[in-house]
Structure 1
Amino acid sequence: MTFRLLLLWAAIIPMAIANGILRDTILVGTLGPKRARTVSGLILSAVILGWTLLTVPWIPLPGHLHYAGVGLAWLTLTVAFEFLFGRFVARKSWSELLRAYRFENGDIWPLVLATVAVSPVAAAALRIFP
């Protein structure tokens, strides 16, 4: 079960990368940088929720509390990945990494993280439980 949960979370990474490419290559030129970040955050949130809705039957758990644990684990993995990759691979400064959390310049990253955290519970409620 743990492998499945990690696999489903890891599948979100290429989706997020593709979303970033879409933002930088199309949305910024069409909407401007500020709106592009907001729209990109909304798109990524929708993709994460959609992905979770499609895949939650593959991780049958006994109840909502277990799905909340999955959401918390996914949130932790996402933030850890963001900071570890951003700091040690992309060589971004800590202030650069923290900028996304301030709701500045159209950035809605905290709302995307909230989607990561609640999507397993929401998907389970919509797909499994009456």
Structure 2
Amino acid sequence: MTFRILLLWAAIIPMAIANGMFRDTVLVRMFGQKRARTFSGLSLSAVILAWTILTIPWVRLPGAPHYAGVGLTWLTLTVAFEFLFGRFVARKPWPELLRAYRFEDGDIWPLVLAVVALSPSVAAALRTLH
């Protein structure tokens, strides 16, 4: 079960990278930096939620608190990945890494993180309605 939870989270990484590349190569030219960042955050949130809805049945957890735990795990992994990769691989300075958390220049990263945290619970709830 833990392997599946980690695998589903890890699959989000290339989606987020592709989303960022699309933002930088297409959306910035079309809409400018500020709107591109907002649109990119919204599209990444939609992709994460759709991915989770499609794949969460594979995890098969016994109840809602477990899905909330998955969301908190994914949130922790996402923030850790962002800071560790950003700081030690991409060599970004701390102020640049923290900028995304201030809702500046169209950035809605904290809302994306909320989607990461809530999507397993939302997906599980939606699955039980059908």
- Say whether the fold is shared (TM-score over 0.5): yes
Moved over 2 A (4+): none
Unmatched segments (≥5 aa) in structure 2: none
**1:17, 1:71 → 2: CA distance?**
20
RMSD: 0.8
Please name the residue that 1:110 is paired with. 110
SS of the equivalent of 1:55 reads: helix
After superposition, give the CA deviation of every residue in 1:59-94 in whole Å (9 maximum; x if it has no partner).
Answer: 111111000000000000000000000000000011
**1:56, 1:115 → 2: CA distance?**
14
Unmatched segments (≥5 aa) in structure 1: none
Q: 1:13-92 alignment to 2 at 5 Å?
A: 13-92=13-92
SS of the equivalent of 1:128 reads: helix
**2:103, 2:7 → 1: CA distance?**
30
Identity of aligned residues (%): 78
**1:121, 1:64 → 2: CA distance?**
6
Contact 1:57 1:128 in 2 (8 A): no
Aligned length: 130
Q: Which amino acid aligns with 1:77?
A: L
TM-score calculated relative to the size of structure 1: 0.98
TM-score calculated relative to the size of structure 2: 0.98
> Is 1:93 paired with 2:93?
yes
Shift of 1:128: 2.8
